[in-house]
Every structure is written in C-alpha cells, then in structure tokens.
Structure 1
Amino acid sequence: MSGNAKDRLIVALDVPTMLEAAGIVESLGDEVSFYKIGHQLAFVGGLDLARELKAAGKSVFLDMKLLDIDNTIAKGVENIARLGVDMLTLHAYPKAMAAAVEAAKGTDLTLLGVTVLTSMDDKDLSEAGYHDDAATLVLKRARQAARIGMGGIVCSAEEAEPVREIVGENMAVVTPGIRLADGEAGDQKRVVTPDVAIRSGASHLVVGRPIVAAADRRTAARQFLNQIETAQSA
C-alpha cells in the first residue's frame, strides 16, 4: 500500500448539494487527494463531480453499497468502471461479490465489500435477523470476499487487525468511523482514532464531518494526515 498519507485519507463529501461539495474540494486544495461520493451527492450530480475530480488528478471512492440480482450488479459495475473511479462498494453478499468481480475483470476498479455498517452494533444486527454478532459477521464476510477475489473490505477499524490477517497484505481495508481522540462520535457506534486504525492494518481511512464541518478544513485534514504519518513511522 502507498506510504503517502494523502493516498490513505479519503474525505467523504456527504453533503446535499454540488455547490457545497465543490466548496469543500476547493477549500481543501492540494491537502486532500482522495474523495468519497455517496448516495446523498450521487443523485444531485455527484457522478459528474466524480468525472471532474478524476480529470483534476484526484482519486474517487464511489460509495454506492450495491446489492441486487447478479445481472443487475454486473451491468451496474460495468458502467461504473467506465467512469474511471478508483473504488466502488457493494454489500458483501457472496453472489453479489462474485458477479461484480467478473464484471470488473480487466479494469482498474477496486471493488470493496461492505461487511457491517459502523452505525450498527450487535443489538442492531439481532433486530435485523442476523444470528452472528458484528465481529463474527465481519470476519465471515472478509473470508468470503478474499476467496471470491474482491479488491478490499470496508469494516470498522475495531475489526481491522483480524480482517488484515484474513485478507493478507494485497487487499484494501477501508475503515470509516474515524475520529480524533476528542472528536464526537455522531451516529457512529464503532469508532477508532486514525493512528490506531493504521496500526491495526487499515489501508484507507474515511473521514467526513470532522473535516467537512470544521471551521478550518485544511487544518482539520492535516490533523488526520499527521496521525497517519506518525502511525506509519512507528
């Protein structure tokens, strides 16, 4: 994985308008080189923004969390690959992952399997009908993703270390729910600091509100980058 901290920090553009997203990108300038576009922004022009970011030399993580029948997954992945984005998420169900891997063959698209959302805990999973607790389900899906040939996993940094042991060094381990030690958790239930996440085996950290809602976004981003750099050199 890259030793450049900027390649490992992904800023989430989880805002409602293109104007706000463009303002965030402009204010961060060359401090940030990797952005996540999710559902909120995708449906108001976010896919066009993805193309613009790629044209500007940035990396793009398209967080669509796809889940559908095999054919629909395959056709969606084929079109997304043509956008030229770097990463794409889908829920880590074996059939969906297998269809996506086949569709992405020959492209540079990194497919990421979403294991368990960081906003969910064991109680939430039980209410949703799952028998496994969060940690067990994450590891089960990591094994399936590695076997199927996915490019990486999305999980809480709390599970990054055992996931890294399962998937080896070549797969991405992308961890949302990252907060500074004095930061607010918000709606995240399984949060970890940047330095701990990196030392636990995370390849990429996804950070949204602590940067995009900061009064000084560049300074906020630099705080996260500093912790990544410190963890890398430890």
Structure 2
Amino acid sequence: MKKPEIIIALDVPNRVLLHQALGKLPRECAWIKIGLELFCAEGPAILDAVGDVPRKIFLDLKLHDIPRTVERAVEAIRNYPVSLLTLHASGGEAMLKAAVSAAAGSNLHLLAVTVLTSLDATDLHRQSIANTPGQQVENLAALALACGVHGVVASPREADAIRRQCGDDFLIVTPGIRPAQADVQDQKRVATPRDAVLAGASHLVIGRPILEAPDPGAAYLAIQQEIDAAVADRR
C-alpha cells in the first residue's frame, strides 16, 4: 500500500470563501475536496479556480440516479480536471457498472459511498435496513469491488474489514477524521488519523480541524506526522 494521503475538505458555499480557504493551505497539500454545495453554487468552472498550486481534485457529488443518467454524468465529468468522483453504492449494480464503463480510459477514479458517517444503526433501522452500519458497509464495498469501482468512501471504523475483504489496491477514503480532543460535529462514526491509517485507509478527508485551526499549516503538518508514525507502526 502507498502512504495514506490527506484530502482537505473545502466545504464552503462560494468562490470567495474557497479562495480564502486555499490561501490557508500549505504547498505540501496535494489533494482538495470540492463538495456538492460549492459545485452547485459556482458550477463546473469552480474546478478551474483552485489556485496556482497544482492539486488533485476529489469531486464529492455522490451521484445516485438511474444507470443511463449517471453514465452520462460521468462522461461529462471525465472531461474535467477531476481525479476522484463519488457515487452511491446503493444505486445498485447496473448504475455502478454504467459509471465504470463511462470512466474507462480516463484518469477519473470512482468511489462508491457506502454508509454516510452521519448515520448510525438507528438511522438504518428507520430505513428498514436490518444490517448494522458495519455490515452494510461491507456488503456495499463488496458490490462496488465486483462492479469494478476503484474504491469506497467509508468510516474509519469499517476500513479494516474493507481492506481485508477488498485487497491492498482498493481505495478506502475515510471522512470523519478528527484529531484527539477535536469536536466531532455532525459525524457519528469518527476516528483519529492514526486509527484510520492503522485500519487501512488510503486517503483521509479532513476539513475543519485544519482550516479552523489557529495555524492551518501547522495543523496539517502535525496530522501528516501522525500519519507517518502510524505507517511506521503498521509495517
């Protein structure tokens, strides 16, 4: 496995705040996440407005529609400067395979969203899903792998089971990462950077703990050092 990478979540509502957030990032930061709110507010042009420092873009749109619609959406997005794109695993086999077909031959990698980190067992039960969040994540990860999807988005708590189930080359992108003592905010299934790395995460999505820190650059580097130490312990 490659060393896990940090993806900075730029969950802001407009271009002005995006530029403010970008100005806080150290040059070492190689990945940024653009979410649904910003993409809808500013349109695809926002993907070309991420500053002078070359960075890879994780476009977190969580596509979920009939197969043909998702296929056409992926065909359009593959022409953007995007490296990772999300879609819901619960969209089913036909939808996932249509997306994989549309992305084939491009540099775009697809991530299947399993169970949102804002959901817990009670939330699943209210949707008539008897599985625990962990069981549901494993089922959806297996489906994504079988359909040729490059990886999944999943809680750090489920990363270890997914890694054992899906192998070393499967991408596992983990939101809900909070340094020790940080506010968990709207996430219900969270973990520290060290926990996520030891569990097998390939990418760690972190936003507010870095961007809202008194010194975002120092916060980023501290988390990177925690990741490096965890990688050394994992060997």
TM over 0.5: yes
Which SS does the other structure have where 2:85 is aligned?
A: strand
Q: Is 1:65 matched up with 2:62?
A: yes
| Corresponding position of 2:2 | 2
How far off its partner does 1:46 sit? 5.8
Which SS does the other structure have where 1:53 is aligned?
A: coil
Give aligned pairs, total: 231
CA contact (8 A) 2:33 2:57 kept: yes
Which SS does the other structure have where 2:205 is aligned?
A: strand
| Corresponding position of 2:104 | 105
Runs of 4+ in 1 over 3 A off after TM superposition: 52-56
| Corresponding position of 1:121 | 120
Rounded Cα–Cα distance in structure 2 between residues aligned with 1:156 and 1:199:
13
| Corresponding position of 2:226 | 227
| Corresponding position of 2:20 | 23
| Corresponding position of 1:146 | 145
CA contact (8 A) 2:172 2:200 kept: yes
Stretch moving more, 29-38 or 47-56 = 47-56
- 5 Å-filtered alignment, 1:64-213, equals 64-93=61-90, 94-213=93-212
CA displacement 1:27-74 (0-9 Å, x = unmatched): 213031100000111122263232243874201000000000111000
Instruction: Calculate percent identity across the aligned residue pairs.
Output: 39
CA contact (8 A) 1:112 1:151 kept: yes
Rounded Cα–Cα distance in structure 1 between residues aligned with 2:44 and 2:176:
24
Q: Which runs of 5+ in 2 are unaligned?
A: none
| Corresponding position of 1:216 | 215
| Corresponding position of 2:38 | 41
Amino acid at match of 2:131: D
Rounded Cα–Cα distance in structure 1 between residues aligned with 2:102 and 2:187:
32
Amino acid at match of 1:131: A
Amino acid at match of 2:175: P
Q: CA, structure 1 residues 33+126, in 2 after alignment: closer, same or farther (shift >3 Å)?
A: same
CA contact (8 A) 1:195 1:231 kept: yes
How far off its partner does 1:170 sit? 0.9
How far off its partner does 1:226 sit? 1.2
Q: Which runs of 5+ in 1 are unaligned?
A: none
CA contact (8 A) 2:22 2:51 kept: no
How far off its partner does 1:160 sit? 0.3
Amino acid at match of 2:158: E
Normalised by the length of structure 2, the TM-score is: 0.94
